[in-house]
Structures are given as C-alpha cells and as structure tokens.
Amino acid sequence: MEGIVVIKCGGSTMEQLPDRFFQAIAEIQQKGKQLVIVHGGGPAINSMLERLAIPSQFVDGLRVTCEDTLQVVEQVLCGQINKWLVRRLSEHRAKAWGVSGMDGGMLTAVQTDKPLGLVGEVKKVDAAIPLAILSHGYLPVIAPLAVGTEGSQKYNVNADIAAGAIAAALGAESLIMVTDVPGILAPKEEGTALIPKTNPREIEQMIQEGIITGGMIPKVRAALDALSEGVPQVVICRGTAEDLLRVCQGETAGTAIVSKAAQVHA
Ligand SMILES: Nc1ncnc2c1ncn2[C@@H]1O[C@H](COP(=O)(O)OP(=O)(O)O)[C@@H](O)[C@H]1O
Ligand SMILES: CC(=O)N[C@@H](CCC(=O)OP(=O)(O)O)C(=O)O
C-alpha cells in the first residue's frame, strides 16, 4: 500500500484554491496515494465573529477562545468549511469523507496552560478513525476540534498543530502545509526572500526577532514537532497543483530547496 501524505489546507488560501488543485488531489488519490486533509478556516471564523460582534484576539497565532467563540469555531469549521471542502473535492471526483477531530474521539486534548481559554493541546491522536476512512478508499477531511480527556469538553485546536500531530500518528511520509505564502520569508536587502532550509534554533531566533509572526508561528512549531516525531518531510507551500504533484511524487525528498516551497529540516 502507498504511503500517507497529510495536506493541511490553510484558511488563508482556501477560497483561492484553483480547480486544478482539487483535480490534482483526485489524480493522486486515483494513483493509490493515501491522502488526509486537515483544514483551517481562520478568516471565515473571523468574519462570522465580526458579524456577531464578538471580538477576535490572537496570541502568537493562536485564537483566544471563550465559550461563544468556540461555538462559532465549531459551526464554521465543522458546518461550513468541512462540508464545502468535501463538496469541492467530490466535484473533481476525489472520494472525500468529512469529520472533525471530535468524531470518535480522534483528537484528545487538554486545555493549554497559556491564557487562551478553550484552546486545546493535542495529547492523543486515535489513528484508527482516519485509517478506517482510508481503508474504504476515502480521503478523510478533518476539522481541527478536539475532545477533552473526559470526553465532555471540546477544544479549539490550531489546524497546523492538529495536522502535525495527525501526520506523526499516521506515520505519514510527508506533511504539506498549503498556505498563502511560498514558505518562510525573511527580509533581505531588497524586499523579502524565501528561506529554503532552516533548523529549530534559527526558527526560534526568527520568532524572537519578529521575522516569523502571527499564523506562521504555529505552522513552523508544528512542522518542527512533526519532524521530531518522525515525519520525514514537511513542506510549506502555496496551493498550486504543480507544487502538490511535485511533493507527492517525492521530488523534494532529500533536497533542501524546491522552487516555490521551503523545506524545514529538524
Ligand atoms: N516569516 C514569515 N514568512 C511567511 N509568512 C509569515 C511570516 N511571518 C508571518 N507570516 C504570516 O503568516 C501567514 C500564514 O499564516 P496563516 O495566515 O495562519 O495561514 P493559514 O491560514 O494558511 O494557516 C502569512 O500570510 C504571513 O502573513
Ligand atoms: C486555536 C486556534 O487558533 N484555532 C484556529 C483553528 C482554525 C485554524 O487554525 O485556521 P487556519 O489554518 O486558517 O489558521 C482558529 O480558531 O482560527
């Protein structure tokens, strides 16, 4: 059986993903690669909160989440984005099955000790659920919510962090983080340049220096965690069919640089 590739689709880019991106997913699936999608939806949550006059607040790229916010997060991620993605994939003949991390207790989390409210840190991933979906020939599409260890509480989990934990639990050969930038960017003499290869020490330094900010912070931290938990490759790239096909064909394996994607090495 072919290896597993986890694709994290960021909310930043979701609505701009071209038909070709979804066609590429269908092609890759038809060739036998086992794909798992974990999705975000930060901008759609922000819009809904704004409509409801609930303020949005982030600390290091993570949303401060009260009960009201959590209700909106669940409605938008599980009810809106998850079903939209499944429809979009199905339109292009990919076989997709939408779930949330709460279904079957796939993701178990504890409340973070940071002052973020109902934000969960993933403690356990039950790989049996995505594996069961894959075994029926479907691609799991996972919304990043988690249940507490007692099973009654629910938590908001950043989608990058959920994707990293799921990739590690599934023993994925690759984690592809699809976003609205081609990778980690840093200031250069003229404008910014893509950092093709980096390591944990440099990443922490870039966070301290304010080069990596906002939503890129959980992304790089999740990438490093996934690498240290045995995922061989994490690629941050834009949502183009070309990048996706290249990475899924293993063309970036063992190389430090791909034209539009930055590979993060532990
Ligand atoms: N050093 C950096 N390199 C690239 N992007 C960065 C960097 N620091 C902060 N960012 C921001 O991170 C954003 C991507 O994170 P985010 O908005 O959470 O995307 P997604 O919804 O795809 O997870 C970029 O659009 C950019 O504004
Ligand atoms: C705790 C936390 O920050 N959860 C995120 C979950 C969605 C997400 O991660 O979406 P993106 O991938 O588009 O950023 C949030 O509430 O926005």
- The rounded distance, in Å, linking the Cα atoms of 156 and 240 is 28
pLDDT digits (tens, 9 = 90+) for 196-246: 778 888 889 999 999 999 999 999 999 989 988 988 888 888 888 888 888
Q: Which residues are catalytic, by number? A: 8, 11, 42, 160, 219
Q: What proportion of the chain, given as a percentage, has pLDDT over 90?
A: 73
- The rounded distance, in Å, linking the Cα atoms of 167 and 230 is 9
CATH fold for the domain made of 4-182+214-264: Carbamate kinase (3.40.1160)
141 token code pair: 């599409």
pLDDT number for residue 263: 55
Contacts of 66 (CB under 8 A, 6+ apart): 117, 118
63 known ligand binder: yes
Q: What proportion of the chain, given as a percentage, has pLDDT over 70?
A: 93
- If one residue of 16, 145, 158 were mutated to test the ligand 2 pocket, choosing by the most ligand atoms within 8 A of its CB, it would be 158
Shortest CA distance to 146 belongs to which of 187, 182, 99, 86?
A: 99
CA of 182 to the centre of ligand 1 (A): 10
- The rounded distance, in Å, linking the Cα atoms of 17 and 228 is 30
Quickly tell me which residue has 């640089």 as its tokens: 257
In this structure, the number of other CB atoms found within 10 A of the CB of residue 152 comes to 7
pLDDT digits (tens, 9 = 90+) for 153-187: 999 999 999 999 999 999 999 999 999 988 889 99
Three-point CA angle 6, 66, 16, nearest 5°: 40
41 known ligand binder: yes
58 token code pair: 């982030």
Mean pLDDT of 37-44: 98
pLDDT number for residue 255: 29
CA of 146 to the centre of ligand 2 (A): 13
Spell out the domain ranges in the chain: 4-182+214-264
pLDDT number for residue 151: 80
256: pLDDT confidence band, cut at 50, 70 and 90?
very low
Nearest atom (ligand 1) to Cα of 206: 1
H or E segment to which residue 33 belongs: none
pLDDT tops 70 at residue 254? no
CA of 189 to the centre of ligand 1 (A): 21
- The rounded distance, in Å, linking the Cα atoms of 1 and 246 is 20
pLDDT number for residue 89: 98
Angle between helices 82-91 and 19-30 (to 10 degrees): 70
Question: Which residue has the least CA distance to atom 8 on ligand 2?
Answer: 40
pLDDT number for residue 249: 75
Asked if residues 93 and 26 have their Cβ atoms less than 8 Å apart, the reply is yes
Mean pLDDT of 41-45: 98
42 known ligand binder: yes
- If one residue of 9, 12, 198, 206 were mutated to test the ligand 1 pocket, choosing by the most ligand atoms within 8 A of its CB, it would be 12
pLDDT number for residue 265: 54
CA of 63 to the centre of ligand 2 (A): 7
Top-confidence residue, 213 or 2: 213
